[in-house]
Structure 1
Amino acid sequence: MLRRCRMDLHIHSALSPCAEVEMLPELIVMKAEMEGLDVIAVCDHNSAENAAACVEASRDSPVRVLPGIECETREGVHVLGIFDRPEQAAQLQEFVWSRLPDEPNRPEFFGQQLVVTADGDFVRYNPRLLVTSADAGLEEMCARIRDLGGLALPSHVDKTFAGLIGVLGLIPEGLDLEGVEISAALTPGEARARYPQLAGLGLVRSSDAHRLSEIGQVWTAAWLEKRTVEEIRLALCGRMGRRLEE
């Protein structure tokens, strides 16, 4: 039976240097539950080191946590890679890290990158610079995400910084996508009117939360049978009764 699910598929943890230190797994899940969300995806910049902790933090919660990564491609485009299992996200991390420049993080400039447990206990700082481009093109990154069983969802495509349309001015022909994320500044109707190239793609709005107060402030409703990546993929395509509410 299909059920209406409220989804926020773009949330950062304290691993992202631009996120607040309060973005700990347990608190993220608690806030998502308070906001009435059914599905969230935790996607940090170029790393999934807190993904398993966030999934573990949801073990007694009605909120389903999907692990993911917000990857940055060679072109400077951000792409969400969203998965059902932390091991899949870890495999994407391995690929991304093999393509990242070997540069140290500068916490005084970018912020700290905290790896934590499900309860929010400090484990270590990630010393590697995460807010940078991997040496992998957009098409290759999306293909790798798909090959690992994930959903590739270009982030905030309308934004000038790191958005697919904002950076490239178009959606490349042949790019295998079911949908994209638009920024909170636009409704799906406004986005489709402004960007005709979005025709045929499912449109998702998410909070892109970097602090607890932002979680669930923007979300997307989807009719799903199960809260899985494949069901979300079907909803983006409007197949088998699954659909997004726009």
Structure 2
Amino acid sequence: MTELFYDLHVHSCLSPCGDENMTPANIAGMAALKGLELVALTDHNSCRNCPAFLAAARAQGIVGIPGMELTTSEEVHAVCLFPKLEQAMDFDLFVYEQLLKVKNRPEIFGKQQIYDENDSVCGEEPCLLIHASRLSFEGLWEQVSSFGGVMFPAHIDKNSNSLIANLGFIPPDSSFQTAEIKDMKKLRDLKCENPYLERCRIICNSDAHYLEHISERLWSLPVEERSPEAAVDALRRGLAGL
């Protein structure tokens, strides 16, 4: 067993709210400077910058994980991570079919830039990526699992776009084994109000949209080996993996 310092929720310039300096190579470079060893790229409803990010992460000696921050039909944000790029890109195609095709207005929402492995712009997504999809939170664990990935609800302590804020409770028949919070100081109260969390691995990520907001070397994940597969497996098993 080894511990990897992580940030598993980071946005690139493909997310309309992501800063234009959040290119795949810049993200990997900043993560390396901060001493991180395990980093996931999780743009809103898209994995299309993951190929470039994984190449940049390899160059920096970082274990990169492809993923996305999915917005459900209830406008709950959920992080979906995959051990292999092919799985992530298959999921990307699946999710894209579930999105309302509303044209992005870059002057209002921001650009949605796609980068190649040379860290150059090679395209721009025309459809706005921050809309809710047609996918419900109910059944999302099983859907992500069918693509080989793992899902956990994002920033459950936030007052908007979180599982608890939007649904009002954690469904007792949920299957997720990991949950993300933004502020660890809220964990005790959250567990008192939501006993389901007692069975979950709790992680803390940056949800960075700017380079300076990428996590410092603060939080570590115990994994069997230094690989995306081991990291995804640890998140899937939650506390049972300890």
TM norm structure 2: 0.92
For residue 10 of structure 2, what is the amino acid of its counterpart?
A: I
The alpha carbon displacement at 1:76 in A equals 0.6
Q: Can you list the C-alpha shifts for 1:81-113, whole angstroms capped at 9, x where unaligned?
A: 101122111111111111111211121211110
Cα distance in 2, alignment partners of residues 173 and 195 from structure 1: 10
Alignment of 1:125-144 (within 5 A): 125-144=124-143
Q: Can you list the C-alpha shifts for 1:132-165, whole angstroms capped at 9, x where unaligned?
A: 0111111233221111111101110121211001
Cα distance in 2, alignment partners of residues 219 and 9 from structure 1: 13
Cα distance in 2, alignment partners of residues 76 and 12 from structure 1: 18
Q: Closer, same or farther in 2 for the Cα pair 1:39/1:231, shift >3 Å? A: closer
CA contact (8 A) 1:184 1:207 kept: no
CA contact (8 A) 1:160 1:166 kept: yes
| Secondary structure in 2 matching 1:53 | helix
TM norm structure 1: 0.91
Cα distance in 2, alignment partners of residues 104 and 218 from structure 1: 38
Query: Which residue number in structure 1 is paired with residue 238 of structure 2?
Result: 237
CA contact (8 A) 2:184 2:204 kept: no
For residue 238 of structure 2, what is the amino acid of its counterpart?
A: C
Structure 2 regions of 5+ residues with no counterpart?
A: none
Moved more, 110-119 or 69-78: 110-119
Query: Which residue number in structure 2 is paired with residue 110 of structure 1?
Result: 109
For residue 163 of structure 1, what is the amino acid of its counterpart?
A: S
Cα distance in 2, alignment partners of residues 185 and 29 from structure 1: 25
Query: Among the aligned pairs, what percent are the same residue?
Result: 30
1:4 aligned onto 2:10: no
The alpha carbon displacement at 1:193 in A equals 4.1
Query: Which residue number in structure 1 is paired with residue 71 of structure 2?
Result: 72
Q: Can you list the C-alpha shifts for 1:13-38, whole angstroms capped at 9, x where unaligned?
A: 11000010000111111111111111
For residue 48 of structure 1, what is the amino acid of its counterpart?
A: C
For residue 10 of structure 1, what is the amino acid of its counterpart?
A: H
Moved more, 104-113 or 220-229: 220-229
Q: State how many pairs are aligned.
A: 240
The alpha carbon displacement at 1:208 in A equals 0.5
Query: Which residue number in structure 1 is paired with residue 228 of structure 2?
Result: 228
Alignment of 1:79-228 (within 5 A): 79-184=78-183, 186=185, 188-189=187-188, 191-193=190-192, 195-217=194-216, 219-226=218-225, 227-228=227-228
Query: Which residue number in structure 2 is paired with residue 45 of structure 1?
Result: 44
Cα distance in 2, alignment partners of residues 165 and 111 from structure 1: 28
